[in-house]
A and B are shown apart, each in its own frame.
Chain A
Amino acid sequence: DAKTTQPNSMESNEEEPVHLPCNHSTISGTDYIHWYRQLPSQGPEYVIHGLTSNVNNRMASLAIAEDRKSSTLILHRATLRDAAVYYCILRDVAADNDMRFGAGTRLTVKP
């Protein structure tokens, strides 16, 4: 199975942009790149997903490298409520009956 690699932790200042990287060098052509986040004492929450093109929604942007071997989740203006563990997950559209979470990146936002 294709796996992802993320930094264990990152820090950001409030109201500044945050770029959360994810490496997935063994990604296959049918793998979608999903991002979820888990706030303290809550279940994971969907953030964004994409296949090849960059994606934007109200929460974040997803920048996907041209070779698809890496991607970056961009929070345009971090707030204290964005402090969470962020998970980058690959899901095969043909066999996506599970999501394989890694350890994720713990984002700390400083006021």
Chain B
Amino acid sequence: ETGVTQSPTHLIKTRGQQVTLRCSSQSGHNTVSWYQQALGQGPQFIFQYYREEENGRGNFPPRFSGLQFPNYSSELNVNALELDDSALYLCASSSRLAGESDTQYFGPGTRLTVL
């Protein structure tokens, strides 16, 4: 059983550019969540995808968007990058069952630096 993987590991972009980050879910998981973690802080929820539909969103502007594919892998897209977007972006997968509290399995993250 493979765990959650993310690519790339590190990325450097300039202000105003666009970026796409990728995540492969753990086998058998149907839900993917994305988080942003600034240096020295806890992760902040961006959004979640369940069966290819957005299923909840945190306090992030529309320039943060995502996709989930039929194989449950996912992308996070960020347009018009700002300096404050520099952070570790974490992907977590889980298997949602009604009435139960799921466990999320995190990838190692993508470190994005915006210059």
Q: Known: A42-B108, A43-B90. Is A96-B42 also a contact (CB below 8 A)?
A: no
Task: Say which size band chain B's interface belongs to.
Answer: 20 to 34
B106 touches A45 (CB 8 A): yes
Contacts of A98 in B (CB 8 A): 33, 45, 48, 56, 58
Which residues does chain B contribute within 8 Å of A44, judged by CB atoms?
43, 90, 92, 104, 106
Given the known inter-chain contacts A43-B92, A44-B90, A93-B99, please indicate yes or no for A99 contacting B105, CB distance below 8 A: no
List the B residue with the shortest CB-CB distance to A41: B108
Task: Say yes or no: B44 contacts A96, CB within 8 Å.
Answer: no
CB closest residue in chain B, given A94: B99
- Interface residue stretch chosen among A10-18, A62-70, A74-82, A100-108: A100-108
Q: How many residues of A contact B (CB 8 A)?
A: 24
Contacts of B108 in A (CB 8 A): 41-43
- Asked whether, in the complex, the Cβ of B101 is within 8 Å of the Cβ of A34, the reply is yes
The proximity string for B residues 38-62 relative to A, scoring 1 for CB distances below 8 Å and 0 otherwise, is 0001111100101000011010000
Main secondary structure of the interface of A (DSSP, over half): loop
Q: Which residues of B contact A46 (CB under 8 A)?
A: 103-105
Interface contact B106-A97, CB-CB below 8 Å: no
Given contacts A45-B106, A97-B55, 12 further A-B contacts (CB under 8 A): A43-B92, A44-B43, A46-B105, A49-B103, A51-B101, A85-B42, A93-B100, A93-B101, A97-B56, A99-B104, A100-B45, A101-B42
Chain A to chain B contacts (Cβ below 8 Å), 25 pairs:
A32-B101, A36-B104, A42-B108, A43-B92, A44-B92, A44-B104, A46-B103, A46-B104, A49-B103, A51-B101, A93-B99, A93-B100, A96-B102, A97-B33, A97-B48, A97-B50, A97-B55, A97-B56, A98-B48, A98-B58, A99-B43, A100-B45, A101-B43, A103-B41, A103-B42
